[in-house]
């Protein structure tokens, strides 16, 4: 039986990928590092420190650990400042409708995000009331593709993984859901989330009706 839903944040509830891109781009320009949208795609779902390492590897750069931490902090300051402009108008189309529907139908709902800024994003969106449990980048140490963040959220919801559906836009997020024994819904193109149990191009198509139709035996 499906009793709970666990949502990724960035790229599922709201489109912060662009804000992350702008902050990494600014840092990269200052450092004279090559960084473009294609490389930004590789950062989808992975932690801040993993992200800067991907950018440095791409640029064949090695730096002392403390310098790397300082640079990641600099990027984060830029990113957090840009969140001030986010408003309750900034849900991805369909996201608020699905969250509302899950509330009215009485499902348990958790957040399972790699971001350490998840609370701020949820507050800017006025989205806190949709969630029973918040799992974010501060909740676990091992990030996606490890399943830890989803296992943390399920445990807090007091549900076993096979009673939960994970909604994710990142390849590594679907990997994490599968590794944890969760059912999965992928948001995005086939070449990114085609390995999910069910896939939609955007959140707009991801209605509770469609999800229930696909997982009919489980509801």
CA distance 172 to 192: 9
> Do the annotations mark residue 33 as ligand-binding?
no
Query: Mask of contacts with ligand G6P, 8-47, x by CB under 6 A?
Result: --xx--------x----------------------xxxxx
Residue number, 70 or 105, with CB nearest to ligand G6P: 70
70 is catalytic: no
Q: What is the DSSP string of 76-135?
A: HHHHHHHHTT--TT-BPTTHHHHHHHHHHTT-EEEEE-S-TTHHHHHHHHT-GGG-SEEE
Q: Contacting Mg ion (CB under 5 A), which of 5, 8, 112, 166?
A: 8
Residue of 10, 136, 148, 175 with catalytic role: 10
90 is catalytic: no
Q: What is the DSSP letter of 158?
A: T
Phi, psi of 199, deg, nearest 5:
-130, 140
Q: How far is the CB of 113 from ligand G6P (least distance, A)?
A: 6
All residues at 6 or more sequence positions from 194 whose CB lies less than 8 Å from its CB, including other chains: 186
Q: Is 175 in the site for Mg ion (CB under 5 A)?
A: no
Residue number, 11 or 147, with CB nearest to Mg ion: 11
Q: Contacting ligand G6P (CB under 6 A), which of 117, 152, 187, 196?
A: 117
């Amino acid at each position: 039986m499906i009793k709970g839903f666990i949502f990724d944040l960035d790229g599922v509830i709201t489109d912060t990928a662009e804000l992350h891109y702008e902050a990494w781009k600014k840092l990269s320009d200052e450092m004279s590092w090559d960084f473009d949208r294609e490389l930004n795609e590789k950062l989808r779902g992975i932690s801040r420190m993993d992200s800067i390492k991907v950018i440095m590897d791409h640029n064949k750069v090695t730096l002392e650990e403390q310098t790397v931490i300082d640079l990641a902090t600099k990027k984060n300051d830029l990113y957090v400042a840009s969140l001030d402009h986010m408003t309750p108008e900034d849900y991805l189309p369909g996201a608020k409708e699905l969250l509302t529907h899950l509330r009215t139908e009485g499902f348990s709902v958790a957040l399972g995000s790699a971001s350490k800024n998840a609370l701020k994003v949820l507050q800017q969106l006025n989205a806190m009331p949709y969630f029973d449990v918040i799992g974010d980048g501060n909740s676990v140490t091992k990030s996606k593709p490890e399943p830890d963040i989803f296992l943390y959220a399920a445990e807090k919801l007091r549900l076993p993984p096979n009673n939960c559906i994970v909604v994710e836009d990142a390849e590594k997020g679907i990997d994490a859901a599968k590794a944890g024994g969760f059912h999965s819904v992928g948001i995005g193109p086939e070449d990114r989330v085609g390995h999910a149990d069910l896939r939609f191009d955007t959140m707009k198509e991801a209605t509770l009706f469609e999800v229930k139709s696909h997982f009919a035996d489980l509801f």
